[in-house]
Structure 1
Amino acid sequence: MPTPDPAAHERTRAYARVIGPYVAVFTAVIALRLPDMTAVVDDLFAQPLMVWMLGAMMLAGGLVVIGGHRHWRGPLAVAVSLFGWFVALRGLALIVAPAAMDAGVQATLDSPAALTTARLLFGGLAVVGLLLAWAGWRGGRAAPVPGGAAR
């Protein structure tokens, strides 16, 4: 089995330092505010240009993570890579099928059981974001630098 590339490990931690806090904050706020977001969702999907731009930005952001993080060794690396793929595919779905995305969101907001499930899912994702942030920011053992110098 090949040894893990220290640069890939550091890149994974760098992505986790950015993605973790973002996911933790954003999904926690959604979990708390989801029942009140009907107007926000209605306003967003009433403006096709905004949906198109959001989809384009999500697709681009996901592709940046996919292209910059091609490492799948270990749970942290898998979580970072899956995040990139999820964001890219969700952005693509917003561009290709905005009506289907709108219908799915509306169905979730209209059903008390689906709303509760979505809130629990977003709460769980907030915990995953905290774990990513912790793994990205925690002080790990420094990898040896070529030439024998310590970091």
Structure 2
Amino acid sequence: MTVMSQRRTRAFARVLGPFLTIAAITVVVRANDMPAILSEFTGSAVWPWITGAFGLLGGLTILAFHQFWREPAAIIVSVLGWLLTAEAILLMAFPGVFADLGDQMIGAVGVWRFVYAVLGLIGLYLAYAGWRPTSAGQTDTPVESGGEMPRAA
């Protein structure tokens, strides 16, 4: 993997890892509130569209800046980008399908706990991959060049 791809993977892992871990813990802690949250979320056509729009922005950002498939953390980040993009498009285009699926799955507490435990572990792994100390020969900061950088305008 090139230094640039390692930097990008670490940067995305630093954001996605803690996010997934915190989200998974929050869902597990607030499991009893999830039916009410789902009901409020699907009660309006606005929330699925807004959530899908922001999810699409996040997913496309990952896809635009991270298409690396050479190490586990990079693969996870890229797969998350594709999944987020697909979910966001479907949420914006077919919110009723997600509402029906949510209604059907809300009672499967054991399944959801398992899924969020796995997501929490993935988040912990990405957080570790993003924040672990680099080896002596590797750095996260760009190497200073002796020459002046070309101007954009």
TM-score range, shorter chain: 0.7 to 0.9
Equivalent residue, structure 1, for 2:35: 38
1:19 aligns with 2:16: yes
Shift of 1:146: 8.2
TM-score when normalising by structure 1:
0.87
More helix, by proportion: 1
Equivalent residue, structure 2, for 1:29: 26
Aligned pair count reads 141
Equivalent residue, structure 1, for 2:122: 128
1:139 pairs with one of 133, 138, 142: 133
Equivalent residue, structure 2, for 1:71: 68
1:116 pairs with one of 104, 110, 122: 110
1:91 aligns with 2:85: no
Please tell me the residue identity of whatever aligns with 1:16: A
Q: Extract unaligned runs of 5+ from structure 1.
A: none
Equivalent residue, structure 2, for 1:104: 101
1:9 pairs with one of 6, 15, 22: 6
Measured in 2, the distance between the counterparts of 1:57 and 1:85 equals 14
Please tell me the residue identity of whatever aligns with 1:93: L
Shift of 1:124: 1.4
Greater than 6 Å deviation, 4+ residue runs: none
Measured in 1, the distance between the counterparts of 2:31 and 2:86 equals 22
CA RMSD of aligned residues (A): 1.6
